Structure 1
Amino acid sequence: MVSSFSLFISLILLSLAKGIQGATFTVVNRCQSTIWPGILANAGSQPLDSTGFELPSGETRTFQAPPSWSGRFWGRTGCQFDPSTNQGTCLTGDCGSNQIECNGQNAKPPATLAEFTVAPAGGQDYYDVSLVDGYNLPIVVEPMGGSGGTCSSTGCVTDLNRRCPSELRVGSGAACNSACEAFGTPEYCCSGEFGSPDTCKPSRYSEMFKSACPRAYSYAYDDASSTFTCSGADYMITFCPSSTSQKSANVGPLSISATTGSDNGPTESGDGPLGINTSWLPNFVTGSSSSPIPSSSSWTWPFMIASAYLLFSSF
């Protein structure tokens, strides 16, 4: 009877383990060069193991976030850091700390953001990829092993730097501003008299972003098609997930419609209006038929079932 009781306790602890642990974030660099990801924990959330680090091409790094953690990840490019002091600056996504570690500093726009709110035990996580602060790198967020809600991949795989209109382009094309960053007017920034969902509508520039990246936030109130939820998941954040989008040679700037509100979304075949595949299959990021990074829940449930069998067969 003692062994049966121990098995029962183990079963309960395993079922609660995911909620206690929070979520694991695996950051993957598939870009052709080194990037320097930055991490910012929101107010009230403890910082993760690092707030900024070097990530060479092809490498990964994993972080464990506690329950109720919220914050954002982004990539910095063109960084120059003194190896003896770790001090320096970045061409895009710089966080203003003048160090590899961002130390609570936010990304300087334009930067593509992956944003998360990890739920307490039994709740739903919220996540999105945002172009509200502009764009500097393609990002895909893939939930691993979760369930419920709108638990699917999201992100922006299109290389918007190659397609950025001249009025939004930063420098020689290292990044692409949002209309708010470029022009600073209330109608683009959803501020002042435009500070509500009823008054701030998609602009021709946000529609441009939306047509290229249908699942990413294109402006401040783009919630309905851009916020995703999942329970009990870990998350893989992949920079430059598509080699096709990084190597396309003959790519012109995105066309901007003179009117807004037109249907520029993906077709039923899964191809967006720019010929970018948006079917978002689970193996999209990995480029293989199986995921290279197993979720913790992939072994938890079989073990729980076996434990339950042993428990009840012992009575």
Structure 2
Amino acid sequence: MLKLVKIGLLFFGNSQLLIQGFISSATKTFTIVNKCDETVWPGISSNAGVVPVEPTGFALQKGESKAIHAPPSWGGRLWGRTHCSKDSNGNFTCATGDCGSGKMECAGAGATPPATLAKFTIGRDGMDFFYVSLVGGYNLPMLVSPTGGGSGRNCSSVGCTVDLKVACPSELKVTSSDGEVVACKSSCVAFGRKEDCCRGEYGSRDTCKPSFYSQVFKTACPRASSYTYDNETSTFACAGADYQIIFCPTSTTKYIVSLKACVF
């Protein structure tokens, strides 16, 4: 997208000078779509040192969409929050993906895991790099699709389009107060072990390997990142594209797995 930006220069020495004109700035458009059967509250956080994207949080009813414009060299992450409400003191909280701000806008804060994340690095050497991460767990199906005729290595849709809550092992399940399964933790979030989180002596590609749990995620969602060093099979790249981020792209799809059949 090409956006015209109005600029002005004021006050040189003792004289006031106003110069008005327009410069063009190529921006990226992210169209966020909610195809879920429930309201989703998207959250957005920008990486340190880049111009932040606004707004940083909002509500999308079933069937609604919203376009967000990012600067040409932007990096950050997008996710969906679910089961959100305000308490008697006006504090806004969500059962999954909460960013801890106490408000609908996340204001720079990231998602509390488990949450399905779409991560972007825009405009690096003329390319956009993106992937969908389940490293911190899963709460919603998500698909990232390039739009507008983008091209490049692996310039195609990526994400996790199935309901992993159905297949979530009991020890990873997150339930609401009424017993509904609302999210699925990763093994790192659930257990905090170094071998699951790729920390300490497991902090390299050679020493940190997929776990049983991450392979359950990968089997269900082969085009999403399932653990820290899974980026080689899940990072995609485009040039000249905008992006559509869809929650519940196929809302009726379920993934049912026999855990006994997945013992590696």
Aligned equivalent of 1:244, options 236, 247, 252? 252
2:245 alignment partner, SS class: strand
Distance 1:239 1:46 in 2: 25
**Rg comparison, structure with higher value:** 1
* Matched ranges for 1:199-278 at <5 A: 199-245=207-253, 248=254, 252=256, 254-255=258-259, 257-259=262-264
Aligned: 1:164 with 2:172: no
**1:105-158 per-position Cα deviation (integer Å, ceiling 9, x unaligned):** 1100000000101105x6010000000010000000000121112100000011
Using structure 2 for the length normalisation, give the TM-score: 0.85
Q: Could you say which structure has the higher helix fraction?
A: 1
2:52 corresponds to 1:47: yes
Shift of 1:70: 0.2
Q: What is the Cα deviation at residue 81 of structure 1?
A: 2.9
Supply the AA of the counterpart residue of 2:241: A
SS at match of 1:243: coil
State yes or no: 1:90 paired with 2:98: no
CA–CA distance in structure 2, aligned partners of residues 226 and 158 of structure 1? 16
C-alpha deviation, 1:85, in angstroms: 8.5
Does the 8 A contact of 1:21 with 1:65 survive in 2?
no
SS in 1 for 2:123: coil
Could you tell me which runs of 5 or more consecutive residues in structure 1 were left unpaired when the two chains were aligned: 1-16, 260-315
Aligned: 1:60 with 2:89: no
Secondary structure of the residue that 2:109 maps to in structure 1?
coil
Of residues 103, 106, 109, the one that matches 2:107 is 103
Equivalent position SS for 2:237: strand
AA at the equivalent of 1:207:
Q
Aligned counterparts of 1:149 and 1:23: Cα–Cα separation in 2: 19
**CA RMSD for the aligned pairs?**
1.9
Contact 1:114/1:130, CA 8 A, preserved across alignment? yes
Change (3 A) 1:56 1:34: same
- Shift of residue 255, structure 1, vs aligned partner: 1.6
State the AA in 1 paired with 2:133. S
1:139 match = 142
Work out whether residues 208 and 254 of structure 1, in 8 Å CA contact, stay in contact via their aligned partners in 2. no
Change (3 A) 1:85 1:236: farther
In the alignment, what sits opposite 2:20?
A: none
Structure 1 residue ranges (4+ consecutive) displaced by more than 3 angstroms after TM superposition? 84-87, 251-254
CA, structure 1 residues 146+28, in 2 after alignment: closer, same or farther (shift >3 Å)? same
AA aligned opposite 1:59: E
Unaligned segments of structure 2, at least 5 residues: 1-23
Letter in 2 for 1:38: G
CA–CA distance in structure 2, aligned partners of residues 132 and 243 of structure 1:
22
Looking at structure 1, the residues matched to 85 and 98 of structure 2 have their Cα atoms a distance apart, in angstroms, of 11
Q: Percent identity over the alignment?
A: 56
Question: Aligned pair in 2 of structure 1 residues 85, 117: CA closer, same or farther (>3 Å)?
Answer: farther
After superposition, the Cα gap between the structure-2 partners of 1:252 and 1:153, relative to the gap in structure 1 and judged at 3 Å, is closer
Aligned length: 236
Task: Report the equivalent of 2:11.
Answer: none
Residue by residue over 1:206-259, the C-alpha shift from the partner in whole angstroms, topping out at 9 and shown as x without a partner, is 1110000000000000011100000010000000000321xx5xx655526332
Q: How does 1:188-203 map to 2 (within 5 A)?
A: 188-203=196-211
Q: How far apart are 1:86 and its partner, in Å? A: 6.3
TM-score by length of 1: 0.72
Cα distance in 2 for partners of 1:239, 1:22 equals 23
Superposed CA deviations along residues 171-191 of structure 1, whole A, max 9, x for unmatched, are: 241100000001100000000
For residue 32 of structure 1, what is the aligned residue in structure 2? 37
